[in-house]
Amino acid sequence: MDAYDEEPNAPRGVQPPPALPEPQTSRSARPAGTHDPQAPDRPAAPHHPTAPAASTAPTAPTAPTAPAEPPRPAGLAALPLPHRIGAVAFLAVVAVAVCTHLGMVFLHVAPPNTVTARHGGAVNEWIYPEFEQNWKLFAPNPLQQDIAVQARAEVRTPDGGRHTTGWYDLSAQDGRAIRGNPLPSHTQQNELRRAWDFFVAAHDGAGRPVGLRGALAEQYLRRIVVLRLERAHAPGPGGTVERVQVRARTTNVPPPKWSREKVSTAPVLRALPWWPVPSAEAEGGVR
Amino acid sequence: MNRFVPEPSPEPSPASSSAPPEPSQAPSPAPPEPSQAPSPAPPEPSQAPSPAPPEPSQAPSPAPRAAVGRRALRSLARGVTRVTDAALGPYQTAAVRIGFAATWLLFLLREFPHRQELYGPDGPWSWDLARQLVTDNGAFTVLMWSRSQMWFEAVYALTAAVSLLLLLGWRTRTMSVLFMVGVLSLQNHSVLMGDGGDNVLHLMSLYLVFTRCGQVWSLDARRARRARAVRAHGARAGDAAGPLLWGVLGCVLAAVTVGGRFGTAEWTVPALLWAVWLAQAVWWAAGRRERTWRLRVLLDVVGNVLHNGALLVIMAEACLVYATAGWYKIQGSRWQDGTAVYYPLHLGYFSPWPGLADLLSANGTLVLLVTYGTVLAQVAFPFTLFNRRVKNVLLAAMITEHAAIAVVLGLPFFSLAMITADAVFLPTSFLRCLGGRAARARARLLSRTAARGGRAAPPGRERADGEAGETTGTVRTRA
């Protein structure tokens, strides 16, 4: 595989700390311990492959360390046989681990198939929680609808009265924050958008929450809405948000001008029931 | 220093045993292996464990069969030597390290005003919500250790600091571990805030821990260079910071473990933390005494093997990203009819520059070409790795497309992460050239500021470019 153009003569580094404890202990070195470090079990002439590399290197590697420092023994060939066997065994373990990991990740990102039907549990066990991934980027089809999440609040005014605010288009607020912004924040680009996706995914067709995630999704969406409404000063001076209602307004993106396709661009509304807002949350509890 | 190598030799580079043990005296009727063939293959640990001696299925005579067997064994030995004797791709892994550290650092700086809303204990995804989810899925996050605002602020600031230190390559291995802890802590607290870029960073922060990503372009490399110079003059290179850092982190780790703070987290990450910490102690101890040189060399081999394995995983992961993105697109009707690229450009969330988006999608044929080109490039990418020239062309195309996505779709951090992942496939010559240029620019800058500040000393030869045989290991305090 020509994958990454390692120059055969590229300078090689040595001896940063290894990441895992070595199963071989120094005890296994003892049988060969009669050798002193100069023993002939080190590689004979250090094969010096740097000639072509040095000519291309703008800075010759020898510069700062010109005075002779004896080379350290390195590499498999420098080791006595028991160590070598240990090293190769370790290599085999790592190779198996690498292959297993890549196989698991492959099965995780692949479509459901015969193997995952049978061993899906093992794959999930390996992947979750830290190796979860999703690369269906704009695939199989890109989203072709603008989903605007809107919200309104029922507010208790300081004089004891109640009133309902108009609808605030929170996604439009995000859109305005993103427009002309070279570095959109995740709070503008991902927060509400993904919260809505999560909410939809964690609720069944009848709008009932599914499991723990359903409950979490509801609280999350409510907290985002409360935060955004407070920021937009929806409760007015002295007012407190008592309940909120969320709805999604879905509009098809109009097809391109050069296309003959006809798509209805009439919005579709999905309104959720009113949710009571805990008082701690309403009074600046979400920041 | 000469703790374990009293052999007098003028060679400044480590004894590179890149020549595999050749069973040369065997009278082989086969033509000698083209052993000098430049095999720029990436580390392929997968080939190592397959000691595939050819199947004795229907070989005509024992002689050629033996020759084939010998040849297979010899190339196996070469492969093993290759992945055990060197941490391959020093420039590529350094580029990946710098790229991801920079991406995360810039992201944290950009989100500093929004940090509370993204990851804070009272944000929309509050500490309590996070705890419920983390208890359920076993993800690792240090933010669960305390609900206090102070702790959150400290974690955020420390993560940014660690990103900077990883970028600079100071105590690279330790920083890569802390970087992983920082990335996982923030992201696992608020999984729903992330996008594809965060996902790439999450995975790569885990893989980077296993690599020797500070061999070049790092403060570690510079320190090793200086230590070598000091030792060459017969002096001892002292190092207090390494053991101190190790001790402090060990205390923290012990306190956290004893205090039960790992709580519901799955064992993977805590085990990794302990393993690295112990390995650093073994590494340090092995380097102190002359008579443990074998252990030291063995540990070096172990480090190389882990590095090369992780490098392969990083490359394969990048291929999987493209393959998945590409193959799923093929199944989509919009990618088939050639209009797919039009749609994201017209979603409110991905069109920071509506005028530009309209301009780009004004022509149907152009949109078709970009749509098909995207699918083609993504599907083809893994296969082009077999041909260096085609790979480089496609790599340039991918990097360009990601740079365009950064602006047009308003996804700068996603794009930066993807470009960094691509960088693992960049040619060494290109990376060295880039490094040399950066070093020269820095030298010019420094000499100018030095001249302005009245200092006489030019920056000398502390170049960013690496050199043969640099170590990132902690320089021992005493022999």
Are the C-beta atoms of A169 and A192 separated by less than 8 Å? no
Residue A278, chain B, CB below 8 Å: the answer is no
Instruction: Write out chain B's pLDDT in tens, 479 residues.
Output: 333 333 333 333 333 333 333 333 333 333 333 333 334 444 444 333 344 444 444 445 566 788 999 999 999 999 999 999 999 999 999 999 999 999 999 999 999 999 999 999 999 999 999 999 999 999 999 999 999 999 999 999 999 999 999 999 999 999 999 999 999 999 999 999 999 999 999 999 999 999 999 999 999 999 999 999 998 888 877 788 999 999 999 999 999 999 988 878 889 999 999 999 999 999 999 988 878 889 999 999 999 999 999 999 999 999 999 999 999 999 999 999 999 999 999 999 999 999 999 999 999 999 999 999 999 999 999 999 999 999 999 999 999 999 999 999 999 999 999 999 999 999 999 999 999 999 999 999 998 888 876 544 444 344 433 333 333 332 232 32
B157: left (phi over 0), alpha (psi -120 to 50) or beta: alpha
Residues of chain B found within 8 Å of residue A8, distances taken between Cβ atoms? 38-40
Annotated domain spans of chain B? 90-288, 324-426
User: What is the count of residue pairs from A and B with beta carbons less than 8 Å apart?
Assistant: 525
Residue B478, chain A, CB below 8 Å: the answer is no
Residues of chain B found within 8 Å of residue A70, distances taken between Cβ atoms? 2, 5-9
Per-window interface: A 246-275 vs B, CB < 8 A = 253-259
A153 has pLDDT over 60: yes
Q: At B213, phi and psi to the nearest 5?
A: -90, 5
Q: At A78, phi and psi to the nearest 5?
A: -80, -10
Beta strands (DSSP E) in B13-133 are: none
Residues of chain B found within 8 Å of residue A189, distances taken between Cβ atoms? 195, 349-350, 410-411
- Rounded distance between C-alpha atoms, residue B477 and residue B479, angstroms: 7
The ipTM, to two decimals, is 0.82
- Rounded distance between C-alpha atoms, residue B114 and residue A186, angstroms: 9
Q: CB–CB of A142 and B352 under 8 A?
A: no
State the angle between helix axes of B172-189 and B127-137 in degrees (0 to 180), rounded to the nearest 10. 110
Q: Give the pLDDT confidence score for residue B279 in this predicted structure.
A: 96
Contacts of B281 (CB under 8 A, 6+ apart): B246
What b/e string do you get for B222-246 counting C-beta neighbours within 10 Å, with b at 16 or more? bbbbebbbbbbeeeebebeebeebb
Residues of chain B found within 8 Å of residue A38, distances taken between Cβ atoms? 6-7
Per-window interface: A 108-127 vs B, CB < 8 A = 109
A29 has pLDDT over 50: no
- Please report where in the chains the tokens 């090369």 appear, as a residue: B308
Q: Give the pLDDT confidence score for residue B448 in this predicted structure.
A: 87
- Rounded distance between C-alpha atoms, residue B220 and residue B463, angstroms: 13
For residue A153, give the 3-state DSSP assignment: strand
Q: Give the pLDDT confidence score for residue B213 in this predicted structure.
A: 97
Q: Give the pLDDT confidence score for residue B50 in this predicted structure.
A: 40
Residue B246, chain A, CB below 8 Å: the answer is no
Q: CA-nearest residue of chain B to A35?
A: B291
Q: At A171, phi and psi to the nearest 5?
A: -65, -35
Lowest pLDDT segment from A1-10, A93-102, B414-423:
A1-10
**What do you get for the CA distance between the two ends of chain A, in Å?**
51
Per-window interface: A 17-46 vs B, CB < 8 A = 17-22, 24-26, 29, 32-33, 37-38, 42-43, 46
